[in-house]
Chain A
Amino acid sequence: MQHQSVLENWLRGIALALIVLFFMFPIFWILLMSLQTNETILRSPPSMVFSPTLSNYQAIFAGRLDSNAASLDIRFLGNLWNSIILSVGSVGVALLFGVPAAYAFARYKFRGSEDIAFTLLSFRFAPPLLVLLPLTSYFQTLGIADTYFGLIWVYQLICLPLILWIVRGYFEDIPADVEHAYRIAGHGWFATFRNIALPLARPGIAAAGLLAFIFAWNNFIFALVLASADKQPVTVGALAFVTASGIQYGQIAAAVVLSIAPTLALALYAQRYLVEGLSLGAVKG
């Protein structure tokens, strides 16, 4: 490595500090807000000196909100629960359908395989509303409007392509010889898939699954258009929460914190997979 001057090190340090500040500050500030009462939030100038309170979180967990227009029941915890069901369900289905397909695309070159694979990927890039708006009436006809089933199906639009393409890359990296040797030993196709291919591709599957989970959790537009009150995930719920709770800014902040906490925790816990997944399997660093 090259020699670096002291000045340069300082500049680097300052630049990095500023960058970390810019990207971390909003999260930090919202966290602070969530621990304050409206009174301290509204102080001018803003100050970081206050006695923290958990009352905002208590209000959310109690499910009851006293705003200035009326006191009302809130279903924010219900929203969190919906987010969990939808995200876990979507990733589960996407893995179930996506991993075998990814294996097929990686291992067998069959007629139309590239076209099919590309079509599946292109779903990731189509404008979501283009599909969602007509779906509103089809869902009604099919009787799956307002069901987790229907929503999880639509969530495949984001989860399935992701899993398919990242996992496919990993399967392609497994030397065919390894599988081949196993099969010669008399094992069937499925045993090979289960005992050789799957374990070897596990990092890729984990990365893709994690990323799909986060994208599903963070999705807003699908549920905005298709979910009814009792199926709403946090992203839609939090937006509605703003009007419902009106002036209770601390509670809005607490709701935001509760909504982003799961993905942030997951990201920190599984950062290695995440970086793999985010670089789209394109770069093996």
Chain B
Amino acid sequence: MHEKERDLVSAFMRGEMDRRELIRGLGALGVTAGTAGTLLNMAATKAMAADFDWMKHSGKSIKILLNKHPYTDALLANLDNFKSMTGMEVAYDIFPEDVYFDKVTAALSSRSSEYDAFMVGAYMTWTYGPAGWIVDHNEWIMDSDKTNPAYNWTDMIEGVRKSCAWNGRPGGALGSDDAMQWCVPWGYEQNNLSYNAAMLENSGIGIPNNLDELMEAAAKVQADNEGIYGIGVRGSRSWATIHPGFLSAYSNLGEVDLNVSADGKLSAAMNTDASKEFHAKWVKMIQDSGAADWSSHTWYQVGTDLGAGKSAIIYDADILGYFMNGGENAMAGQLAYAPFAASGNGAPTPNIWIWSLSMSKFSRDLDATWYFMQWATGTEHALFGARNMDFVNPVRQSVWDDPMFRDRIAQSYPGYVEMHDVSAPGAAIKFTAQPLFFDLTTEWAASLQKMVANEVPVDEGLDQLAESVNRQLNEAGLG
């Protein structure tokens, strides 16, 4: 870093100038806003280093496994700061999402010590935790010798933080007192509506406020706009079809996936009358206004179609709507956001997906790895990513309170922050935590596909599903 630039940054750190002045000053020196962010963060990182022996593991080297994702991009952009602050070396492998979890499973099930930490979703920890492949991170988080004083664990949004903690008992409540912190939240997604404002306006319809209105809106907007379909939701034969909009609406209507009896036994709960009614509506919505190739839609197609102007509304991850509103998308700048409660009563309660980081039990040096973990999930990196990169949604309240971040989002993504604030209090994982999660949700998605294809009536399909779920639970000794 050149002399002048360093002076500017130091002045900023001492509080002698505000951020705009700093950026302007750096701009005058030919430093772009992105680089300025990195520089600034470097300084912030140094400030952080003052109260904690960050160099303790200097010279050590760790390896992490990452999914191809904007979060990864943000991490790599800032990684040099970590390296220079700690003197540690960080190697990494990046896999595309299609094969990412197969690779994680393969590495962990073979007890490979290659990777010290990896990206993971909370659902995966329901397999990895009980299998004994990941550690209870509480051991490090709560240890003030190992965690820097500025880490501020409780800054993590409560619903998100607790959704990553489970006591390992099938059906056990997430975030209970005896829960193990299987993973540390990194970035997360709420499931709400993102829509093409012009298309809705063209049809003269407002923002839908419950499931019935959503169905009507999807049908009408499809009829009134040429060459598009009304609503984008996922449909591939995968657990990923169940967890976004679908489960958010389902649980908002008061339904659960599994019943947990007093003695801890699990049984299927998806064939209640109310559930059947909901499924019938959802299926009809896809049949009437969904994508023609819905059954192959993963999050990527759902987002791409919205961004390309091929669909009007998506009920999916809010960050999909965020990404599609930028870059080279045809509809960039024309998307809007709305929180959504399927019941129409009260606040939204979206189910969430949490990209998290976990340490592998087979790591050779967990303490050193924790240095990386606490930095990557710490406030400084979260702020850096949120301000300068697409590291959204942040899992830390302090980042959501950060005026710079709010300003940036409010300017380019109007309505996004408001949507988040409304639905964040109710946001949590709505599934019952249990080790057969992937078996049961994949089968649920397969049933849904059969119902949409009219291969089986909704009632019958759900009864069959429940029967099969109960059989599998019994077989695994959970039912």
Cβ of A244 within 8 Å of any chain B Cβ, yes or no, is yes
Chain B residues in 8 Å Cβ range of A113: none
Q: Assess A139 versus B110: contact at CB under 8 Å? Given A68-B327, A70-B390, A247-B308.
A: yes
Contacts A70-B70, A243-B300 given: A146-B106 contact, CB under 8 Å? no
Q: Are A240 and B73 in contact (CB under 8 A)?
A: no
Separation in Å of the A24 CB from the closest CB of chain B? 26
- Is B51's CB within 8 Å of the partner chain A? no
B68 at the interface (CB under 8 A from A): yes
Would you list which residues of chain B between 275 and 306 have a CB under 8 Å from chain A?
A: 298, 300, 303-304
Give Cα A257–Cα B111 distance, bound, in whole angstroms: 38
Contact across chains for B93 and A229 when beta carbons are under 8 A apart: yes
User: Which A residues lie within 8 Å of B112 (CB)?
Assistant: 140, 145
From residue B129, how far is it (CB to closest CB) to chain A in Å? 20
> B residues within 8 A CB of A68?
304, 307, 323-324, 327-329
Q: A114 contacts the other chain (Cβ, under 8 Å)?
A: no
Stretch at the interface among B7-15, B97-105, B394-402: B97-105
Structural contact, B106 and A136, CB atoms closer than 8 A = yes
Q: Is B114 an interface residue (CB 8 A)?
A: yes
**Main SS at interface, chain A:** helix
Q: A8-49 CB contact bits vs B (8 Å, 1 = yes)?
A: 000000000000000000000000000000000000000000
Chain A hits for B93, CB < 8 A: 228-230
> How many residues of chain B get a CB closer than 8 Å to chain A's CBs?
30
Cβ < 8 Å to B, chain A residues 203-237: 224-225, 228-230, 236
Whole-angstrom distance from the CB of A44 to the nearest CB of chain B? 9
User: Of B109, B110, B298, B308, which is in contact with the most chain A CB atoms at under 10 Å from its CB?
Assistant: B110
Q: Which of A69, A139, A228 contacts B70 (CB 8 A)?
A: A69
- Minimum CB–CB distance from A20 to chain B (whole Å) comes to 30
Most B CB atoms within 10 A — which of A242, A243, A246? A243
Query: What's the minimum C-beta distance from B36 to chain A, rounded to whole angstroms?
Result: 20
- Which of B68, B102, B323 is within 8 Å of A72, CB to CB? B68
Which chain B residues numbered 373 to 399 have a C-beta less than 8 Å away from chain A? 390
Compute how far the CA of A66 lies from the CA of B96 in the bound complex, rounded to whole angstroms: 15
Known: A246-B300, A247-B308. A225 touches B68 (CB 8 A): no
Does A239 have its Cβ within 8 Å of any Cβ on chain B? yes
Q: Does A271 contact B (CB under 8 A)?
A: no
Chain A residues near B95 (CB, 8 Å)?
Answer: 229, 240
Interface string of B65-82 (1 = CB under 8 A from A): 000101001000000000
Q: Cβ of A224 and Cβ of B99 under 8 Å apart?
A: yes
B198 within 8 A of A: no
Query: Does A137 touch B at the CB level, under 8 Å?
Result: yes
Residue of B nearest to A242 (CB): B98
Cα–Cα, bound, A102→B307 (Å): 59
Provide the residues of chain A in CB contact with B308, threshold 8 Å.
247
- Among B111, B328, B390, the residue within 8 A (CB) of A140 is B111
B410 at the interface (CB under 8 A from A): no
Among A69, A70, A136, A242, point to the contact of B110 (Cβ < 8 A): A136
Among residues 191 to 232 in chain B, which have CB atoms less than 8 Å away from a CB atom of chain A? Answer: none
The reply to whether A137 and B110 form a contact with Cβ atoms under 8 Å apart is yes
Q: How far is the CB of B328 from chain A (nearest CB, A)?
A: 6
Q: How far is the CB of A244 from chain B (nearest CB, A)?
A: 5
Q: Are B68 and A244 in contact (CB under 8 A)?
A: yes
Which chain B residues border A66 with CB–CB below 8 Å? 328
Nearest CB of chain B from residue A272's CB, rounded to whole Å = 38
In angstroms, Cα B42 to Cα A214, docked, is: 51
A243 to B390 CA separation, bound complex (whole angstroms): 19
B307 partner residues in chain A, CB cutoff 8 A:
68, 247
CB distance from B365 to the nearest CB of A (A): 19
**Which single member of B73, B94, B114, B304 contacts A146 (CB below 8 Å)?**
B114
B98 near A243 with CB under 8 A, answer: yes
Within the assembled complex, what's the spacing in Å between the Cα atoms of A241 and B98? 10
Q: What's the Cα separation between A67 and B304 when bound, in Å?
A: 10
Within 8 A of A (CB), among B104-133: 106, 109-112, 114
- B109's partner among A136, A243, A246 (CB-CB below 8 A) is A136
Q: Cβ of A72 and Cβ of B300 under 8 Å apart? A: no
User: Chain A CB within 10 Å — which of B97, B99, B303, B324 has the most?
Assistant: B99
A69 to B96 alpha-carbon distance, docked (Å): 13
Q: Which residues of B contact A246 (CB under 8 A)?
A: 300, 304
Chain B nearest Cβ from A73, distance in angstroms: 9
B99 touches A240 (CB 8 A): yes
A236 and B99: CB pair below 8 A?
A: yes
Verify B323–A243 contact, CB threshold 8 A: no
8 contacts between A and B (CB under 8 A): A70-B73, A70-B327, A137-B111, A139-B110, A241-B96, A243-B298, A243-B300, A244-B96
Q: List chain A positions with a Cβ less than 8 A from chain B.
A: 66-70, 72, 136-137, 139-141, 145-146, 224-225, 228-230, 236, 239-244, 246-247
List residues of B whose CB falls within 8 A of some A CB: 68, 70, 73, 93-99, 102-103, 106, 109-112, 114, 298, 300, 303-304, 307-308, 323-324, 327-329, 390
The 10 closest A-B pairs by CB, nearest first: A140-B110, A240-B96, A137-B110, A229-B93, A68-B327, A68-B329, A244-B96, A140-B112, A69-B323, A136-B106
Contacts A68-B304, A68-B327, A230-B93 known; 16 new A-B pairs at CB < 8 A: A67-B327, A68-B328, A69-B327, A72-B68, A72-B73, A140-B111, A145-B112, A146-B114, A228-B103, A229-B95, A229-B103, A236-B99, A239-B99, A243-B97, A243-B298, A247-B304
